[in-house]
């Protein structure tokens, strides 16, 4: 049974002083795919700015805008209506040898490369290593997601864009 969801996201930024210009890109339009359809999406920018829309390397809708009037605050409000659950999700079937192929690593390099925020050497790495021996990759991935969900509690304001997975999982 499909669900219709209205999502409103507000991002605000206050500069230390007045700025004469700012250049921005917003990726706030939900994807339409086999499991959801974006029925409506709009982006409001304050102060008002002209926008240019395009799709990036991954197919994400990008709204680019620049402001050339003096301003000390920037507000971006994205509102979307999405219909979800159009068909049930079914996991793919893979084996470890397929996932270790160079072609797969090349296609998904952007998602598979560790960064300072995703790299883990402690408890999170131990959990992943323990789960990797438990079966096929789909089962392992779902088990990892469930274990992280059980371990973490959402607390507004406790993290920011610089928080690493390792710090949060410890």
Whether the model clears a pTM of 0.75, i.e. scores above it, the answer is no
pLDDT tens track for 112-152: 788 888 887 788 788 878 887 667 888 888 888 888 888 88
The CATH architecture one would assign to domain 3-84 is Sandwich (2.60)
For residue 79, the model assigns a pLDDT of: 98
Share of the chain above pLDDT 90, in %: 42
Strand extents, DSSP E, the chain: 3-19, 22-26, 36-46, 51-55, 61-67, 71-84
pLDDT tens track for 13-39: 999 999 999 999 999 999 998 889 999
Whether 77 shows a pLDDT value over 90: the answer reads: yes
CA dist 134 and 140 (Å) reads 7
pLDDT-derived band at 68 (thresholds 50, 70, 90) equals: very high
List the chain domain ranges: 3-84, 96-169
């Amino acid at each position: 049974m499909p669900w219709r969801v209205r999502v409103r996201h507000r991002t605000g930024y206050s500069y230390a002083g007045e700025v004469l210009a700012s250049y921005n890109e917003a990726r706030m339009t939900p994807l339409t795919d086999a499991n959801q359809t974006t029925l409506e999406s709009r982006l409001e920018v304050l102060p008002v700015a002209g926008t240019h829309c395009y799709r990036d390397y991954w197919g994400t809708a990008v709204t680019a805008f620049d402001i050339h009037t003096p301003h000390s605050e920037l507000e971006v409000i994205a509102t979307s209506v999405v219909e979800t659950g159009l068909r049930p999700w079914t996991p793919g079937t893979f084996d470890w040898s397929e996932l270790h192929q160079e072609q797969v690593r090349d296609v998904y390099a952007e998602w598979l490369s560790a960064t300072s925020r995703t790299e883990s050497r402690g408890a999170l790495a131990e959990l992943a290593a323990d789960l990797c021996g438990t079966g096929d990759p789909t089962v392992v991935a779902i088990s990892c997601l469930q274990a992280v969900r059980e371990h973490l509690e959402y607390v507004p304001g406790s993290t920011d864009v610089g928080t690493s997975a390792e710090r949060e999982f410890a």
